[in-house]
Each structure stands twice: as structure tokens, then as C-alpha cells.
Amino acid sequence: MTLSELDPAARHRHVAAAFTDRVRAAGHWDVPAPVAGWTARDVVRHLVEWLPPFLAAGADVELAGGPSVDDDPVAAWQAHRDGVQALLDDPGTAQRVLANRHIGEVPLDQAIDRFYTSDVFMHTWDLARATGQDDRLDADFCAALLAGMEPLENLLRSSGQYGARVPTPDDADAQTRLIGYIGRDPFWTPAQFSR
């Protein structure tokens, strides 16, 4: 079964596991990341901090807090990941709705999957690149995400969540095209640091 064919809980488990591997192996947290102005720590901070208010406002869901990303990015990520996974594993989550003025009403598990799990997937590249790790992503899921995002380009760009599209070669693979689409330079080189 491909990543695209998994249900939201299984897809999050798989995607979050890949990100967790990069988090646990990151030896340097204050190195620059491919997102302008961010460090490796900021990649984790972004994922840990944006979802809780989104869930609280749209579905009255309170995720349990964890340690501060500043104090312990690994523990902060793992606590957050576990909370999201528990929510997705709860059979009642699929019956709940998230309401948001930008997206309307969406089943809660689908909202998490569409907006959050895909974000974790793409930010796996950012963290891997920043910390000098394997940055390969699932090619089929890259292609599926890109196909779903391209028709929404004006909406996505106007949200302020994506930078200007970075041109990629005509023969680029799906990962390179996705990374360029979301506003990253797919050929960005990490800062030099000693391990």
C-alpha cells in the first residue's frame, strides 16, 4: 500500500516516524534551515506550535502540551507527535468536524491529514537538509501532493504560507518539483558544521 492510499492515522504514523528519525539524529539545532530566517529548531517549533491553536479554534480540541522546543526539541516533538497520533487513532475523531473560515467544515481527521501531515512531510526535507541528513522523500507522495496543490496556486500563495515558486529543471523529479513549488531552493546547501 502506498503512502497516498493510507488512512489519515496510518499516514500520520508513517510521516511522523520519518520526521522523528531526523529529529532524533539532528546534532545541531541552531544551524540555518532552507526556510529563510529559520534554524533547524524553528522547523520543529513550527510543527509543534501551529497545530494546537488551529485545532482548538476549529474543533475545540486541546492537545496536551510538552516541553519547550527551546529546552528540548526532541522531547517537544515526540510529545506533540504522540498527542496528534492519539487523536487520529481515536475512532471518534473521524466523526468530528473542524470549522475554519478559510476551508469551511472538514472532517477533523481529514483536516489534520490535509493540512498538518502533509506539512510534516514537506518539513522533513527542511530538517534533513539543515542537519545534513538523508533528505529523500516518498516520490509517489511528492507527486500526489504536487498534483493536489498546483490547481490551488493562487490561494496557497496568497495565504502567506508559501514563498515564491523556485524554478526547477524541466526533467526534475517529483521531489525537486515539490520543493521548488513550495518556495524552497531544491539545491539549497546546508551550512557547514562539525559533527
84 and 153 both lie in a single domain:
no
Share of the chain above pLDDT 90, in %: 83
Distance CA 52, CA 62 (A): 7
Provide the residue range defining the domain that includes 166: 137-187
DSSP codes, 67-106: S-TTT-HHHHHHHHHHHHHHHHHSGGGGG-EEEETTTEEE
91 and 124 both lie in a single domain:
yes
102 and 169 both lie in a single domain:
no
- How far out from the chain centre does Cα 24 lie? 16
The 10s digit of each residue's pLDDT in 83-95 is 999 999 999 999 9
The C-alpha cell at 47 is: 510543527
Cell 541528513: give the residue: 133
The 10s digit of each residue's pLDDT in 10-20 is 999 999 999 99
pTM across the whole model: 0.93
User: Of the candidates 141, 155, 153, 190, which has an alpha carbon nearest to the alpha carbon of residue 6?
Assistant: 141
Distance CA 114, CA 62 (A): 19
The 10s digit of each residue's pLDDT in 122-178 is 999 999 999 999 999 999 999 999 999 888 777 676 666 778 889 999 999 999 999
14 and 97 both lie in a single domain:
yes
122 and 51 both lie in a single domain:
yes
Given a contact cutoff of 8 angstroms between Cβ atoms, the answer to whether 81 and 66 are in contact is no
142 and 132 both lie in a single domain:
no
